[in-house]
Amino acid sequence: MTQPTTVAGLIVARIAELPGVDCELEMSYPTEANVPVVGVTPLPAQILAQPYGAPFSIDQLDFDIDVYHADLGQVHALGQTLRDHLRTWIPGPGLTVDAVPDFTKRPYPNEKLRRVGAIMSIISMPS
């Protein structure tokens, strides 16, 4: 199985290609001083298929992606930019982007920041 943390590093690097966007793996709570910022958190992987007796499986790797900005309009615009940037991406051999849904508003305790997020899915199969 491809390790989700390894793929998460690829996602962080892909997002960091966007100008003016900081991206962190499993980041702590952002503040107004460091926005816009994107956080990527690996979620537990799921085995989609494993042929009987085979030493490999086809896995779904999910990642929670959160976008933070001080302005609601800008956080939604950045979420859409990220979605477009990630949907057309080919992460590497044996990895395929399966889904990058619309980023939707999520609650956040700091009232000075706005947050949107989505769960990105990547399919990992032997190459």
Question: What pLDDT shows up at residue 68?
Answer: 96
Angle, CA 46 vertex, CA 81 and CA 61 arms, to 5°? 25
pLDDT in tens, 67-112: 999 999 999 999 999 999 999 999 888 899 999 999 999 999 999 9
Res 2 pLDDT > 60: no
Separation CA 8–CA 105 (nearest Å): 22
Res 1 pLDDT > 60: no
Tell me the backbone φ, ψ of residue 109, rounded to 5 degrees. Answer: -65, -25
Residue with more model confidence, 102 or 51: 102
Q: What pTM did the predictor assign?
A: 0.89
CATH fold group of domain 4-48+57-124: STM4215-like (3.30.2000)
Amino acid symbol at 5: T
Question: What pLDDT shows up at residue 3?
Answer: 59
Contacts of 109 (CB under 8 A, 6+ apart): none
